[in-house]
Structure 1
Amino acid sequence: MSDTENGSNGTGPTPFREGEPVLLIADDGTVLAAMAGETLRRGRTVVPTSAVIGRSPGDRIRILGIEHTLARPQWTDILRSIERGPQTIMQETIALMVHLAAVSPGATVVEGGTGSGALTLALAALVGPGGSLHTFDISERHLEVARRNLRRAGLHDRVKIHRGPVEDARIRGVDAVLLDLPRPWVALDMAGRALRPGGSLVAHLPTTTQVERLMRTIGGGFTAPRATEAIHRSWVLSRGGTGLRPAFEAPAHAGFLVHTRRI
């Protein structure tokens, strides 16, 4: 089979168009999210995807001599392959953050510290087309990276991007405020004004010094804050598939989360 052959029978799901997100799943389990027609670079390897255009989900295609199955990516697939500018929050930590914040379809959410847009992408997917997401960052360079990642996911139209400090936000009736800032305590007054009663404030922090200062600064108008350490540890089948064991890499400390609710 040549590099452009596949097993399509001409029927079934809508074919991929140029610029549309596509997922390539190799037989060894390797997953790659791309935009149909773009040329990806992975280290020294150039991965062409032009042969994807006109194919359909479920089709088989050979790229660089490796068989792949095509699929439409979920937002979590795109999150794994986003363009990285500033350091991004680990996916497992993002999952815990949105759980603590109870982000759901139709919610109004404020994010402080857009960065590369990893958390932004997750929030945009969760609030849905009926929700409202405002994200703030003081760096235009960071915001440009985030814009590109949101466009890749097809979620850019759900996000209102603001260049400037989140503490200057003038939004009211907010369901959740999520912060990834070195000094999140400067945004507490804003959160107190913005959040509806019962709304959640969740902050991601890398050090215990920051956690302690934030928890000491949270005062009246909020519940007693709780701190959680996020740790990621992978498990794998042992050689031969005879048992389960932790992966060889050490468990990854993925930061601390501080959670409180407005009262």
Structure 2
Amino acid sequence: MKKFLTLIFSVTALTFCGCAGKSTQAQASSSEPSGDVSAYLQGAYVSVADSEAKLTAAGFEVLSKFKSVKEGKTIVFTCPTLKKEAAKPNRANIAVMKLFVDDQEKTISFSNPVYFGKAYMQDDYNHATFSAVKAKLEGAFPGLKNSEDKMEFDDLAGFHFTLGMPYYEDTKVLGEGSNEELLAKLKNYKKGKGLAYELKISDDTTLVGYSVGRGTQRFVKKIGRANAGLLPWPIVVSGGKATMLQAEYYIAMNYPLLGMMQFATIASVPGDVIKDLKKPFK
């Protein structure tokens, strides 16, 4: 009886991502991790086209294929579970996950739904929900391994890089006006060349992926192309404001092994990101 109930739970959990009926060997868990959690799930090379096909077959929706670094692309994707969680107040950033396909190094790297789920959902985090999304990725891409980039699970919700640095909730306002006006500005600036994706989460909230300037974007080569999947930059349009996660937070969250000396080599980047992303709203 106990085994039967366990099986029922596993099947139910795996349907959270809107993918019922698709088999996988990976299983979701309701028990939160103890100790470190990897920021990425890494594996052997799969082409962009084949990666997109695998994601689609597993029930995910591909939103964008973005050139984040030379010979490397970020595939941005979502699913019903992520969109449902993102519809909760101040949780829009969790609406998408990223897959970085590195044509140069012949590897792939997924953002770990458990890692970013805990960071972005904070007290609203439900482990069974995000473990189920992770299990679907592991089922679609067998052989994924945990990255060396990791952080203590219990530290993720309250993370900031160091004293005086911003937290998740310390967002930067890029522009104000009606949601419609703000989205129109993003679409019209330079004929929309910087707009990587647009995902409506609710009647009042839209998540947009936007490109920072070419010069700014080069910082990923300085601190590690393997994590270039943090691009394009997410912008939340909600309640008459366009906001972004502060660069000091977002970069450090995506590069958990980043040291103070390494961060100093890109000291101008946070300011450059703000300048780049404010331009469409002038």
TM-score normalized by the length of structure 1: 0.31
Larger radius of gyration: 1
Q: Which has the higher helix share?
A: 2
The one of the two structures with greater contact order (alpha-carbon pairs below 8 A, sep at least 6) is: 2
TM-score normalized by the length of structure 2: 0.29
Q: Which has the higher strand share?
A: 1
